[in-house]
């Protein structure tokens, strides 16, 4: 019997096509009445796919009595209750490692752009302003101090990238991590005070909501830059806008926002911030690798009872 698979996420069409060839796939959003569909068919599904941007609610998980495995497209787990699923004996898979390089690349792209004003300089040239005025000086990146908020797989990749720029690196996590060559800073405000660039690459969710607040931004100071490639919820966006508007920090590079895809107009009006539409992992190669991992997690689970990439227990 073909395994019944429920999709509740936003997945690439090619992945959906591949899943549909192997499983009895239903995309819940395509049903005319999703609630009635679940009332009639919830007991069929033993597998579920979603995306990090969408997640899956505990209420929906509870409506699927035969659910055995969830495979998510992405590394963010803040939009699903992993502990709840695991307590029910449901395996939760995700796609770590395969996107480390591309997220690290974007982090450094944002860092260099906001420090040297590359996007602003492009607008300066296109507006025909070069013949009449001189573009403002930027901030040197090589040799700068890099503070990392989080030091997981992607954080370590970013830190390794920084060695090519001869940067001094320190990091903040709740507890020091063993085997790392970089100095741990117990207090986030002290890390911000030390850093020229503060890169946010920690997990989202309630535990890190507004971790970067007014106090952290004030510690970063008028010569410091904030880079966020984690989750919009980790930074107090209202406090960040105020700090940028009053130049209490020098600038910011943002790939994530509090209410995506809606970006505050106040941010769009500022020239000391670089705004990206959450594209850190958005390369053809990485998205294909992520899609492969979603599929392979399901295949390994049903063939061998294991996941290639299992979400850690909270």
- The catalytically annotated residue of 44, 145, 209, 278 is 278
Does 153 participate in catalysis according to the annotation? no
Selecting among 156, 231, 287, 293, the annotated active-site residue is 231
C-alpha 47/C-alpha 16 separation (Å) is 14
| CA atoms within a 13 Å half-sphere pointing along the CA-CB vector of 75 | 21
- What is the dihedral sign for C-alpha 177, 180, 183, 188? negative
Give the other-Cβ count within 10 Å of 67's Cβ: 23
Side-chain half-sphere exposure of 209, counting CA atoms within 13 A: 5
Q: Is 231 a catalytic residue?
A: yes
Strand ranges of the sheet holding 251-254, from the earlier edge strand across to the other edge = 183-184, 168-172, 145-149, 197-200, 225-228, 251-254, 273-275
Specify whether 210 is catalytic.
no
Q: Kindly name the residue from 62, 123, 166, 260 that is annotated as catalytic.
A: 260
| Residues acting as catalytic residues | 231, 260, 278
């Amino acid at each position: 019997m073909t395994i019944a698979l429920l999709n509740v996420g936003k997945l690439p069409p090619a992945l959906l096509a591949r899943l549909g060839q192997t499983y009895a796939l239903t995309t819940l959003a395509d049903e005319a009445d999703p609630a009635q569909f679940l009332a009639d068919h919830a007991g069929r599904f033993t597998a579920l796919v979603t995306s990090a941007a969408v997640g899956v609610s505990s209420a929906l998980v509870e409506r699927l009595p035969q659910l055995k495995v969830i495979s998510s497209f992405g590394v963010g787990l803040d939009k699903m209750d992993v502990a709840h699923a695991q307590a029910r004996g449901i395996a939760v898979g995700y796609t770590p490692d395969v996107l480390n390089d591309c997220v690290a690349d974007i982090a450094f792209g944002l860092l260099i752009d906001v420090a040297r004003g590359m996007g602003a300089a492009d607008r300066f040239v296109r507006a025909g302003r070069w013949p009449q005025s001189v573009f403002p000086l930027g901030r040197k990146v090589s040799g700068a101090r890099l503070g990392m908020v989080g030091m997981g797989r992607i954080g370590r990749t970013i830190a390794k990238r920084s060695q090519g720029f001869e940067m001094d690196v320190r990091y903040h996590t709740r507890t020091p991590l063993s085997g790392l060559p970089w100095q741990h800073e117990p207090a986030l405000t002290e890390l911000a005070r030390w850093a020229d660039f503060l890169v946010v690459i920690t997990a989202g969710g309630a535990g890190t909501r507004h971790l970067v607040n007014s106090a952290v931004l004030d510690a970063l100071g008028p010569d410091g830059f904030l880079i966020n490639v984690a989750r919009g919820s980790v930074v107090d966006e209202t406090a960040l806008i105020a700090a940028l508007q009053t130049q209490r920090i020098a600038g910011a590079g943002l790939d994530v926002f509090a209410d995506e895809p809606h970006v505050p107009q106040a941010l769009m009006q500022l020239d000391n911030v670089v705004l990206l539409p959450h594209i850190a992992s958005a390369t053809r190669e990485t998205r294909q690798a992520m899609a492969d991992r979603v599929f392979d997690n399901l295949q390994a689970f049903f063939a061998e009872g294991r996941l290639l990439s299992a979400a850690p227990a909270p």
